[in-house]
A and B are shown apart, each in its own frame.
Chain A
Amino acid sequence: MHETILETTGLSKEFLGFKAVSDVSLKVRRGSIHGLIGPNGAGKTTCFNLLTKFLPPTHGAIRFDGRDITSLKPADVARLGLVRSFQISAVFPHLTVLENVRVALQRERGASFDFWRSDAVLRRYDARARELLEDVGLSGYAHLTAGQLPYGRKRALEIATTLALDPVMMLLDEPTAGMTAEDVDRIVALVKRVAEGRTVLMVEHNLKVVEGLCDTITVLTRGRVLAEGGYAEVSRNPEVIAAYLGADPGISGGQAHG
């Protein structure tokens, strides 16, 4: 067991000469909820896509659980237990809510190349899928197609689907983006609960969410790490205030401490 579960060294990504992420060295402690914040265009999502291998890095290395994953494919990273969510709600719109979760549970039986077998064999995952749906407050929606769900519920479904893989580490890309206040509270409570026994790295705009959830925060600006530490420490950092929070932190929804 390594104390650090995810570690990057000198991670960089260039798009035609534009450095979206440059020389980011990040350490995520096992069992923590780690926030990645920064103003628009700071490279958060690019960084995220690098960590999950959806983008190949230009330079640098990524180690997960003591293993170099720099050259792995995204699906294989997911198989190691590093599972991501997406900024836009990522569900399978024409599958039912239950089937959405079941597709993830189905991973347990391997690659599922058996095209000759009836999908009735998947019914054995129904019970577990219902449990997961209940866990995120979606039991009443199981038979609807996912596309019919309201936005906040889709995010909850996405988390249930991610949880179905029983990931070692979850990467959440703005889990509360575009949500109403009560939806935000529900998701925050949900993330807090499901983070038990796991590691979470989340990109988040809403500073209240970050303050309430994250043990450690890394601030990115222009592709570089500007500061790192607990919320109280980071939010007092003058550079961070200048670059991210602005002169009056209250405007961005955060509260300056002291």
Chain B
Amino acid sequence: MASHASTIAAPVAQDAPGLPGLSALGFNRAQSIAFLILLALLIAGPFFLYPVFLMKLLCFALFACAFNLLIGYVGLLSFGHAMFFGMGGYLAAHAAKVWGFTPELAILTGGAVGAGLGVVAGWIAIRRQGIYFAMITLALAQMVYFFCLQAPFTGGEDGIQRVPRGALLGVIDLGRDMSLYWVVAAVFLAGFLFINRVVHSPFGQVLTAIRENEPRAISLGYRADDYKLMAFTLSATLAGIAGGTKALVFGIATLTDVYWAMSGEVVLMTLLGGLGTVFGPVVGAAVIVTMQNYLAEFGAWVTVIQGGIFVACVLAFRAGIVGELARLLKVRL
């Protein structure tokens, strides 16, 4: 039965029960431990590393987790997720700067934009399978890109600059990196746990069934397309939230985030970390963002190195970092 185990890490038959309290989140023992480590890193991180770097990392980690919800648990490869990330960023920036929204409302605006765009793009794209699905999402994302290039409110090549961070709930000033860090960490954690809940919900169970054997799920009376559309919309919403948060962190929303290369980057992050694993996308995002940051002095070589890693990943460890680790430890992560 090794045929279908190549891309998605094969689950172990019986999981050890999770730690008390954490099993309610749907974590098994290994995942509970990994989650506690993640929590510790989230708390200790800003005291050792530059908070802005960490915030960037968390935004991308959430973006990758959102993407993983779709490819890892539904088996849909979207090649246009930058449209939700980027548009979420633009609208959050616009809301914060022009409409004077508080940061939490601006971020929610980003999520709402992702959701709205997700319903439309998903409704069009899920009618096709496999490569056609990927191509349709790419085409739609390119339309959004050109819209952003031309639309007056996006500032074209300049983007929306000097976006104020504002004050949380109108009270707590987020001007200091450390205060904003805790907000971003909370957003990430909420998104991360939300995805985990979706996966371990009655809805998630049907979703898994559809991924495993779509005709059979249909024959049991589940309208597969409806579930795919819902998953697509949820994924797009979280991508919008991630994009909105990133726009606030850097005070800028630009074309980079709606460009197709961004769609490719999130694929790379998820693949590198491990498709269909809970922690893979976070690890993948951490690796890629760290590389971009610390290898920035090599200029264009970053892309070459990224490409090399991608090739190595596809050739040598298809399950990704976390996927391979899980296989070694014989647990699910």
Contact = CB atoms under 8 A, between A and B. Distances in A.
B230 A115 contact: yes
Nearest to A100: B209
A91 B203 contact: no
A117 B217 CA distance: 21
Interface stretch (B57-65, B100-108, B218-226, B289-297): B218-226
A148 B4 CA distance: 12
B24 interface: yes
Contact of B220 (A76, A103, A116): A103
B206 A112 contact: yes
A92 B209 contact: yes
Given A104-B220, A119-B202, A145 B209 contact: no
B208 A95 contact: yes
Given A115-B203, A121-B202, A79 B221 contact: yes
Interface residues of B, number: 36
A25 interface: no
B220 A114 contact: no
B234 interface: yes
Interface string B236-264: 00000000000000000000000000000
A3 B13 CA distance: 46
Given A73-B223, A90-B213, A144-B13, A103 B200 contact: no
Contacts of A117: 201-202
B212 A118 contact: no
B205 A118 contact: no
Contacts of A94: 4, 8, 10-11, 208, 212
Nearest to A84: B219
Contacts, number: 122
Contacts of A74: 218-219
A209 B8 CA distance: 39
B26 A118 contact: yes
B202 A75 contact: no
Contact of A90 (B10, B219, B223): B219
B197 interface: yes
A74 B24 CA distance: 35
Interface in A101-120: 102-104, 106-107, 109, 111-120
Contacts of B234: 115
A108 to B, nearest CB: 10
A62 interface: no
Which 4 residue pairs across A and B have the least CB separation, nearest first? A78-B221, A92-B212, A115-B203, A90-B216
Interface of B: 1, 4, 8, 10-11, 13-14, 24, 26, 197-198, 200-206, 208-209, 212-213, 215-224, 226-227, 230, 234
23 contacts: A52-B219, A75-B218, A75-B224, A78-B218, A85-B219, A90-B215, A90-B216, A93-B1, A94-B4, A95-B209, A106-B202, A106-B205, A107-B222, A113-B203, A114-B202, A114-B203, A115-B197, A115-B201, A115-B203, A119-B26, A161-B220, A165-B220, A165-B221
